[in-house]
Each structure stands twice: as structure tokens, then as C-alpha cells.
Chains A and B, each alone.
Chain A
Amino acid sequence: QTVVTQEPSFSVSPGGTVTLTCGLTSGSVSTNNYATWYQQTPGQAPRTLIYTTNSRSSGVPDRFSGSILGNKAALTITGAQADDESDYYCVMSLGSGIWVFGGGTRLTVL
């Protein structure tokens, strides 16, 4: 069974740059996995940041960007701000209408 992997936690300094990754235990991530990234703060519904690898959702600042780095999908945050401190989730398509979320990354800005 394919698992989607994410770093459990990460920290970044204010103003710094951080790259979170999303991998597949079954192999390399491609654009056909339609990797999508979400931000979630406690008690709130998820907010879509990046969809299908690298398309920024409406209203999302351009300091959030998506890509494929090596064999993983990646979310890069440049110029980190205090309110970026959140949980970040990725989801990927395994084909045939099957989707799997990663376990999430808790980002700390300090």
C-alpha cells in the first residue's frame, strides 16, 4: 500500500525560506500525481495553497510555490512570516480516483 510521506515537523526563521516535501513510498512523484498542498490552523478548515504541482490557488501570496524536486513534490515558502506557522498537508492522486494525504508537517516560525 502506497504511503505519502511528509516531514513531521520543520522550523524556519522569520524571513527565511523553507521547503517542505511530499514523497511516495512506491516511487517518484510526477505531475500525474497532481500534488496539492494545504495549510491548516487549529480548528479551521484546510486552505488550498497549491494545486496540481505548481498552480497557486486564488489569493495565495506568491511567496508560496510548488514544484517537483528530485523525486518528490515540494512546497517552498520564501520570506516566512509568523502567521505561516501552521500544519501543511499534501495530497496526491494514485490514479483511478484514489487519493492519499500525507501525514502533515507542523511548521514552526521562530
Chain B
Amino acid sequence: QMQLVESGGGVVQPGTSLRLSCAASGVGFSIYAMHWVRQAPGKGLEWVAVISYNGRNKNIADSVKGRFSVSRDNSKNTLYLEMKSLRRDDTAVYYCAKTGGDDWSNPPGGWGQGTLVTVSS
């Protein structure tokens, strides 16, 4: 069973950048597509990004397109979310989630515990 641990969250000022990591332990990270999902305080879940097992196919939600990017390093069993030009409304818990397949048509399945990003001056 693959475990996911997000890190990199914290308090940052508007306009700055941050990189989140999602470290996977256990077997199989390199064969699964992965998602990032966020949840603003008191709000619902919002899909952010998906990346295929080999990183060749990826997509980003319109709400963050041009500011956020997703990548992975299968040699390190790690998923990344690079966030630039952060805004106050990016404040949220960010979850990574594995899928049950190798491409972006697979939904989020197994979840990490999340990392909180607070954008505030």
C-alpha cells in the first residue's frame, strides 16, 4: 500500500513562489498517474492538476493555469507542485492523490494528509 506525505506548505506573502512535494513510500509510484487537489478553509474540494505515470501528459485547472505547474521525479518517488505568483485565494490545504492507473483519465484515489499553504501579508 503506497503512503503519500505532502510537504512544503507554510505562510507566504502574495506574489511569491512555493514548491510542494509529495513523497510516496511503498511500491508502485512510477506506474500511477497522480493528482493535486486543494481545499480552501471551509470550502469544498477543487481539482488542481494531474500528471501521467511518466510525466508526459499533464493538465492544470484553468483557475491556476499559467501560475502552477506539476511534475514528478520517479527516481525519487516524488510528485511536485510548483506555485508562482501566489494569491490570497490560493490559501488551502493541498492534497496529493494517487490513481489506480497510468494516465490522466483515472480519478484521485489514495490520498495524503495534505499540507497547508497560507498566502498572507
Contact = CB atoms under 8 A, between A and B. Distances in A.
A48 B113 contact: no
Contact of A34 (B59, B95, B105, B114): B105
A57 B107 CA distance: 12
Given A38-B45, A46-B95, A97 B59 contact: yes
Give the interface size class of chain B: 20 to 34
A89 B108 CA distance: 12
Interface residues of A, number: 25
A100 B47 contact: yes
Interface in A1-58: 1, 34, 36, 38, 40, 45-48, 51-52, 57
Contacts of B47: 91, 99-101
B113 A45 contact: yes
A58 B100 CA distance: 12
Contacts of A104: 44-45
B70 to A, nearest CB: 11
With most chain A CB atoms within 10 A of its CB, the pick from B45, B50, B114 is B45
Contacts of B50: 97, 99
A93 B35 CA distance: 13
Contacts of A45: 95, 111-114
Contacts of B58: 97
A18 B17 CA distance: 44
Given A40-B45, A48-B111, A87-B44, 9 more contacts: A45-B111, A45-B114, A46-B45, A51-B109, A91-B45, A91-B47, A97-B104, A98-B59, A100-B47
Interface of A: 1, 34, 36, 38, 40, 45-48, 51-52, 57, 87, 89, 91, 93, 96-104
Interchain residue pairs A-B with the least CB separation, the first 10: A97-B59, A97-B104, A36-B107, A99-B47, A104-B44, A45-B111, A101-B45, A89-B45, A103-B44, A48-B109
